[in-house]
């Protein structure tokens, strides 16, 4: 794979890292033979990171209202189901090669794994959001510079014609 050549590719690569962090965390938890409770913890973390991104998007769009909470329970169920399936498949593959014994509860190792996965996800999302915002602002500034007539913005009725439905109509 070629290294990213521009800012947008890097931002998209960081988003892919953020998307894959929790599934990779579940696979690592299965390989480390951690508790099944880790799946629920990672699903809750995945949901929390999603809500952080929703709040960030609401602030960016200028919306003062909070996102609707109606999708919390179904969102958790879908994430938990996906991560549980991945956990079971990973354990099944691991069981083919050695005996597996899962931990009975959550411990400091689980907290460290959860913190690492959630931290990587939040950091990747924050960096890619800043990069994408900067790039979009740059593109918008270039577009506005190309659209603005020479000499600055013209007043209504002073330019060579008016634009109605995408067509330039001469004054005469």
Whether pLDDT at 139 is above 60: yes
Compute the average pLDDT of residues 119-136: 87
- Evaluate whether 32 touches 107 at the Cβ level (below 8 Å): no
The whole-angstrom separation of Cα 137 and Cα 124 is 20
Quickly state the pLDDT bin for 135 (edges 50, 70, 90). Answer: confident
pLDDT of residue 5: 62
pTM: 0.73
**Per-residue pLDDT at 146 exceeds 80:** no
Residue tagged 């990213």 (tokens)? 4
| Domain boundaries, given as residue ranges, for the chain | 7-136
Report, as an integer, the average pLDDT of 98-106: 88
How many angstroms separate the CA atoms of 60 and 153, rounded? 27
Give the DSSP letter of residue 152.
S
Dist CA 134 CA 8 (whole Å)? 10
Q: How far apart are CA 64 and CA 118, in angstroms?
A: 26
User: Which pLDDT belongs to residue 34?
Assistant: 92
What CA–CA distance (Å, rounded) separates 128 from 126?
Answer: 6
Sorting pLDDT into bands at 50, 70 and 90, what band is 61? confident
Per DSSP (E only), the strands in the chain are: 161-164, 167-170
Residue 42: the pLDDT is 95
**C-alpha torsion angle, residues 145, 150, 156, 161 (rounded to 10):** -110
In this prediction, residue 47 carries a pLDDT of: 92
Contact between 7 and 131 (Cβ < 8 Å):
yes
DSSP-assigned beta bridge partners for residue 170: 161
Distance from the Cα of residue 133 to its chain's centroid: 14
Summary mean pLDDT of the chain: 83
Ranges 84-88, 94-98, 125-129, 157-161: which has the least confidence: 157-161
């Amino acid at each position: 794979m070629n290294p990213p050549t521009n800012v947008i590719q890097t931002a998209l690569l960081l988003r892919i890292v953020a998307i894959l962090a929790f599934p990779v965390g579940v696979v690592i938890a299965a390989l480390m033979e951690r508790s099944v409770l880790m799946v629920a913890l990672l699903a809750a973390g995945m949901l929390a990171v999603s809500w952080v991104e929703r709040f960030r998007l609401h602030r960016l769009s200028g919306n003062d209202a909070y996102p609707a909470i109606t999708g919390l329970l179904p969102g958790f169920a879908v994430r938990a189901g996906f991560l549980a399936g991945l956990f079971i498949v990973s354990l099944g593959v691991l069981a083919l090669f050695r005996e597996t014994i899962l931990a009975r509860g959550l411990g400091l190792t689980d907290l460290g794994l959860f913190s690492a996965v959630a931290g990587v996800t939040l950091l990747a999302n924050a960096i890619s959001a800043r990069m994408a915002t900067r790039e979009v602002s740059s593109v918008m500034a270039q577009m506005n510079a190309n659209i603005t007539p020479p000499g600055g913005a013209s007043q209504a009725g002073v330019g060579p014609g008016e634009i109605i439905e995408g067509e330039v109509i001469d004054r005469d």
